[in-house]
Amino acid sequence: MGDSPASGADTVAAIGEFGLIRRVTENMPQPSTTLLGPGDDAAVVAAPDGRVVATTDALVEGVHFRLDWSTPVQVGRKAVAVNLADIAAMGAVPTSIVVALACPSDTPTAVVTELLEGVTAEAGRVHAGVVGGDMVRADHIMISITALGDLGGRPPVTRSGARPGDVVAVCGRLGWASAGLAVLSRGFRSPVSVVNAQRCPDPPYAAGPAAALAGATAMIDVSDGLLADLGHLAECSGVGIDVQSDRLTVPERLVDVGAALGADPMHWVLTGGEDHALAATFRSLSDLPEGWYPIGSVGASESGVTVDGVPYDREAGWRHWS
């Protein structure tokens, strides 16, 4: 990024929509699933299964990210990651994404190209093509992504298949992004490991299809917080879920951050969103694929989610528009 971000010499207004799209899409590698990439009215993507999995999630500047906290690359990666995690949570493998990007006219071209560099990098981690997009003018940066995926002949793993007696398990990090947010909110920039977790999640994409193959009965990605998202799963399945807190090891790094900030790190683990771990239910402990660990069990009652048998008494998870 240059020294004079809004000087007009290299802003999105100066280069224009078509010039920017050309700059961004030329030399962009495409996987074999991309049958027709960017540059036409629409893209064509392979859907070998005969079904396509689709999800959309948007990030807004000042609401979901701040460019004084995150680099444009990190924001682009995060915007893709939250979508790919949803594809994984159905047990599907991502095939492609499309990107709608809104930004002010005086946005430096470099911010846009770096955002899209992040988009391309994160999609590339799972060999998903960036197959299309739209660029529009707005007062703030907003990046809206739709991800598509393929089920490989398997049924989708929904939120509604959990049954009493099932084991509840998790794969991926819990509480890290929330700890990172607490650090950033107080004006600190370290420890980098938790701060970077807030800037960009690292969802265990491959664990979704692996869980589906292993017979997961229900699955969800942890975007709002473990208890909140298990609540969605419990509600959709018409069951209760009890989490055993002694199964949830609080990572040493989060213990340290909690001590430094005077906060309870277990609260981050139980209610922190934005890490996009996967939570799923399995018929038995022996079904759990590598990387998954048990954290609780499914009960018959529709009593929602409890921790060690009792309701958790602190506000659980992230509420939008609050």
Residue range at the interface with a copy of itself (CB under 8 A); choices 23-31, 98-106, 189-197, 300-308: 98-106
Closest to a copy of itself by CB, 233 vs 257, is 233
Task: Answer for the pair 218, 161: CB distance below 8 angstroms, yes or no.
Answer: yes
We find the least distance from the C-beta atom of residue 86 to a copy of itself, in angstroms, to be 4
Task: In whole angstroms, give the CA distance from residue 221 to residue 87.
Answer: 9
- Asked if 60 interacts with a copy of itself (CB under 8 A), we say yes
- Asked if 261 interacts with a copy of itself (CB under 8 A), we say no
Task: Answer for the pair 266, 259: CB distance below 8 angstroms, yes or no.
Answer: no
Q: Which of 73, 81, 115, 148 binds a copy of itself (CB under 8 A)?
A: 148
133 is in an annotated binding site: yes
Q: Which of 47, 67, 206, 255 binds a copy of itself (CB under 8 A)?
A: 47
> Considering only residues 217-246, where is the footprint of a copy of itself by CB under 8 A?
219-221, 236
- Asked if 67 interacts with a copy of itself (CB under 8 A), we say no
Question: What are the residues whose beta carbons fall under 8 Å from the beta carbon of 199, sequence distance 6 or more?
Answer: 69, 70, 71, 74, 75, 78, 180
- Asked if 263 interacts with a copy of itself (CB under 8 A), we say no
- Asked if 26 interacts with a copy of itself (CB under 8 A), we say no
- Asked if 130 interacts with a copy of itself (CB under 8 A), we say no
Q: Which of 9, 29, 139, 247 binds a copy of itself (CB under 8 A)?
A: 139
Q: Which of 73, 80, 81, 89 binds a copy of itself (CB under 8 A)?
A: 89
Residue range at the interface with a copy of itself (CB under 8 A); choices 84-92, 194-202, 254-262, 289-297: 84-92
Q: How far is the CA of 185 from the CAs of 27, 66, 247, in angstroms? A: 38, 11, 29
Q: Is 39 helix (H, G, I), strand (E, B) or coil?
A: coil
Angle between helices 252-261 and 176-185 in degrees, nearest 10: 30
Per the listing, tokens 């939120």 go with 159
**Nearest CA among 124, 296, 171 for reference residue 227:** 296
Closest to a copy of itself by CB, 89 vs 167, is 89
Task: In whole angstroms, give the CA distance from residue 162 to residue 3.
Answer: 54
Q: How many residues of this chain interact with a copy of itself, rule: CB under 8 A?
A: 71
**Which residues does residue 305 pair with via DSSP β-bridges, in sequence order?**
241
> Considering only residues 157-196, where is the footprint of a copy of itself by CB under 8 A?
158-160
- Asked if 200 interacts with a copy of itself (CB under 8 A), we say no
Task: In whole angstroms, give the CA distance from residue 284 to residue 303.
Answer: 22
Q: Is 243 helix (H, G, I), strand (E, B) or coil?
A: strand
Quick one: how far is CA 294 from the chain centroid?
21
| Cis peptide bond upstream of 203, omega within 30 | no
Residue range at the interface with a copy of itself (CB under 8 A); choices 108-116, 166-174, 298-306, 313-321: 313-321
Question: What does the angle CA 256 – CA 260 – CA 261 come to, to the nearest 5 degrees?
Answer: 120
Quick one: how far is CA 230 from the chain centroid?
16
Residue type, 279: A
From first CA to last CA, the distance across the chain in angstroms is 34
Q: Which of 71, 146, 196, 244 binds a copy of itself (CB under 8 A)?
A: 146
Closest to a copy of itself by CB, 1 vs 42, is 42
Closest to a copy of itself by CB, 91 vs 272, is 91
Query: Binding string to a copy of itself for residues 291 to 310, with x set by CB under 8 A, is what?
Result: --------------------
What are the binding residues? Answer: 41, 55-57, 64, 86, 133-134, 159, 221, 223-224, 274, 318
What are the binding residues for substrate? Answer: 64, 274, 318
What are the binding residues for ATP? Answer: 133-134, 159, 223
